[in-house]
Chain A
Amino acid sequence: MTDRGAPPAPEATAVEHFDVEAVNKRESRSLYVATKKIHPKRVKGTFRTLKWWIMGLTLGVYYISPWLRWERAGSAPDQAILIDFVNQRFYFFFIELWPQEVYYIAGLLIMSGIGLFLITSMIGRAWCGYFCPQTVWTDLFLVVERAIEGDRSARIRLDNAPNSVQKAFKRIIKHTIWLIIALLTGGAWVFYFADAPTLFIELFTLQASSVAYGTVAVLTFLTYALGGLMREQVCIYMCPWPRIQAVMMDEESATVTYREARGEPRAPYKKGDSWDNRGHCVDCKACIAACPTGIDIRDGQQLECITCALCIDACDTVMKKIGQLPGLIDYDSLANIDRKAKGQPSEMKIIRPRTVFYFTAWVLAGLIMLVTILWRPDLDINVLRDRNPLFTLQSNGSISNGFTVKILNKVHSIRTFAISVSGIDGMTINVIGASGTGPSYKPLVSVNADQLGTFRMVLNAPKGALSADTTDIQFLIKDISSESSTDYDSVFRGPKK
């Protein structure tokens, strides 16, 4: 990033200067501040192109994902990604999760968190600048605004122009398109929670639930308000990430930086002027004009900077015009700038103890997730013993304990299980609602496809079989057709000995 080859030949006679100030300039701060409208100027360049691609990718993933199909056995839904609140299931392609397995979601959040730390410690707020929905949708809304109202100067003119039919017309068109985008965004969200094609038809035939309409309405409003009206205010005032990111970054983290040593002292430039005794910054303020949060990157690292890198593109364009090397504003680390100032070789230290630690933690979390997903059992058992009463003395002197056994059948077909309990000689099982008993009797219970079966059972230990007030016992359930089985350790309580 530091070496960009030989400077091009100057091609323009004069550099355009912009009448713009940084919104967070010292002089413009007062007790309660009215929001200053920012009119980001369109730029062209490497990073703008990269951002177009990422925008296409992220919007594509968001809008298309719920429409992907994935064949599943039995009555399970065929939607690839589905959060089914009604039936309490989460589907993601080949993965299917029950509410009991919510720790996978926790694992995913941990991975996202550590991943964010890793990226931030390496290349700063790349999340903010490229991937954050707030950035992506604001960018999208800006595309619409530019298409209708023109670029920066045209928009400023329009804002200052007296009210007219033409102005109102442009505004109405712009807000209508914004609202349509917002509606599509809010609309797409609900498709993750129900069968998308069905819900799509229901939404238009007014048959969808009020929850669906409510969610669409709220998200439409939020998309419109946050992406169209609030924009950088969200990043600066609402989002906690700008505050948190500071602890993930250090002096070796690459971030969007103004190379002060090269740029200063800044001064306006006309073709033919000498470059002696001055910096390369021509104070054209193209960087401020392009900035979506309206700041001046030359003031140094700031909370408002989302590192979208558009100022790099803006500055590089200018540098090309005036026949200088690009990269006056560039991705660089503060330590590297220091090194260059001292005449030491330039070097980006991506691999540092911090990044190695984050990467290891991320890989470790990922591996644990992968292993647990791959070895996820399709059968689970939970045994709750009655605590009130702990045990019951029967008339023949035997002791009974009550248990509630829950069997989770995570397969898309009905299964029948044989239940047996070991640990006490001559113990009998009586499943409430089922018939049969006796020492060698193994009750059979059926659990429907993809369901939880709850069974209450009373175990009875014959008189004299207990040698202590607590005896370890083990429940064993065995699928009678596939031989897959699982067990659960519990205890049998009796009177104090």
Chain B
Amino acid sequence: MADDRKIDEFSGVETTGHNWDGIEELDNPMPKWWINIFYATVIWGFIYMMFYPAYPLISSYTKGFLETSERTELAIELEAVKSSRAIFVAKLDAATLEEVRNDTDLFNFALAGGRSAFSVNCSQCHGSGAQGSFGYPNLNDDEWLWGGEIEQISYSITHGARNTDDDDALLSDMPAFLRDEILSADEIKDVANHVLKISSQEHDQAAAARGTVLFEENCAACHGEDGSGLSDMGAPALNNGIWLYSGNLDTIVETVSNSRAGVMPAWGGKLDSATIKQLAIYVHSLGGGQ
């Protein structure tokens, strides 16, 4: 692409000097109106800069005569959305959870709102799909520490667990059997083998047999004789494949030795009652609600 401007023989127009495989580009003049439109856009640019936010200053920026701000516009739009939802929110507030379940429109509104509120407030611990993780319960399954009925879920969200903000917070206090010197390390291993046994996992038969008695003496009061748990006490079932803190021998030993005390915030003071209702309905609908 040599810079070789010359007059094109055929048209008499100067070329740009650009040559692609023998094809040359003519430097034809632009029409005057085209240039004028270009100038007009420049002038328009200056007008725009005067009326709209344009230039950064040291600690601020030029605001423009119209003083528009996308923050204000967003706030107005959000306000509009809020007011358009007001009828539903009021209805939701007044309705009992059972009434909501029976009203299709209200139920769908609650589900959509619940999903959105879940993403904002709950997904950090429970995961975006409410699938949970180590120490944070999976909300899709049908095992519930504190009960899976919609009112129970609502209570759990409102008051949380083991937090210091809410006097009505859910509280279960499993002893740290080793640290509090209730059981010895060997005894704990036996109990753990018993738990492996009732959850249908591989285990040491002799240890499990020894652990059975220890389990009845120390654990059955909360977890039940067969290990099926007791949601009134916040005691999880131990006889199935669902584990909050993993179900292998080492983790069970660790759990029994030092106890666990997962905390959930009380959302009652942070979210309004309609949002908590929506959350409860959403979580209940995930598949494990009772």
List residues of chain A with CB under 8 Å of any chain B CB. Answer: 26, 29-35, 230, 233, 237, 386-389, 392-397, 400, 402, 430, 432-433, 456, 458
Q: Is there contact, CB below 8 Å, between B33 and A394?
A: no
Which A-chain residue is minimally distant from B130 (CB atoms)?
A389
Secondary structure call for the B interface: loop
Are the CB atoms of A458 and B31 closer together than 8 Å? no
A233-B138 CB under 8 A given contacts A395-B143, A433-B285 = no
- Which residues of B (132-181) have their CB < 8 Å from a CB of A? 138, 140-143
Contact check, A430 vs B287: say whether CB atoms are below 8 A apart: yes
- The CA of A26 and the CA of B29, in the complex, are separated in Å by 12
Contact string against A for B residues 19-50, beta-carbon threshold 8 Å, 1 for contact and 0 otherwise: 00000000011111111000000000000000
Cα distance, A393 to B240, chains bound together (Å): 10
Tell me whether B29 and A33 are in contact (CB under 8 A).
Answer: yes
Return the contact of B140 from the options A233, A389, A430, A432 (Cβ within 8 A).
A389
Q: Which of B106-144 contact A (CB under 8 A)?
A: 107-108, 111, 127-131, 138, 140-143
Known A400-B287, A458-B287: A35·B128 in contact at CB below 8 Å = no
**Contact (A392, B240) CB under 8 Å given A29-B29, A32-B32, A430-B287:** no
**In the bound complex, CA of A20 to CA of B52 (Å):** 50
> Which residues of chain B from 245 to 290 have a CB within 8 Å of any chain A CB?
285-288
B interface residues, tally (CB under 8 Å): 34
A394 engages B131 (CB within 8 Å): no
Residue of A nearest to B27 (CB): A31
Contact of A35 among B32, B111, B130, B141 (CB under 8 A): B32
In the complex, A436 Cα to B288 Cα: how many Å?
A: 15
A402 to B111, CA, bound (A): 15
Sample of 16 more A-B contacts, CB < 8 Å, known A26-B13, A395-B240, A396-B240 = A26-B11, A26-B12, A29-B13, A31-B29, A32-B29, A33-B30, A393-B242, A394-B143, A394-B242, A395-B141, A395-B143, A395-B242, A400-B287, A402-B287, A433-B108, A456-B285
30 A/B residue pairs, CB under 8 Å, sorted by A: A26-B12, A29-B13, A32-B32, A35-B31, A237-B34, A388-B127, A388-B129, A388-B131, A389-B129, A389-B130, A392-B131, A392-B140, A392-B287, A393-B141, A394-B141, A394-B142, A394-B143, A395-B141, A395-B142, A395-B237, A395-B241, A396-B240, A397-B241, A400-B141, A400-B287, A432-B111, A432-B285, A433-B101, A433-B104, A458-B287
Residue contact B29 to A389, C-beta cutoff 8 Å:
no
> What 8 A-B pairs are tightest by C-beta distance, nearest first?
A388-B129, A389-B131, A458-B287, A392-B140, A26-B12, A395-B240, A34-B32, A395-B143
B31 close to A237 (CB less than 8 A)? yes
Q: State the CA gap A34–B35 with chains docked (Å).
A: 10
A392 / chain B contacts, CB cutoff of 8 Å: 131, 138, 140-141, 287-288
Name which residue of chain B comes closest to A34, CB basis: B32
Contacts of A394 in B (CB 8 A): 141-143, 242, 288
Q: B12's closest neighbor in chain A, by CB? A: A26
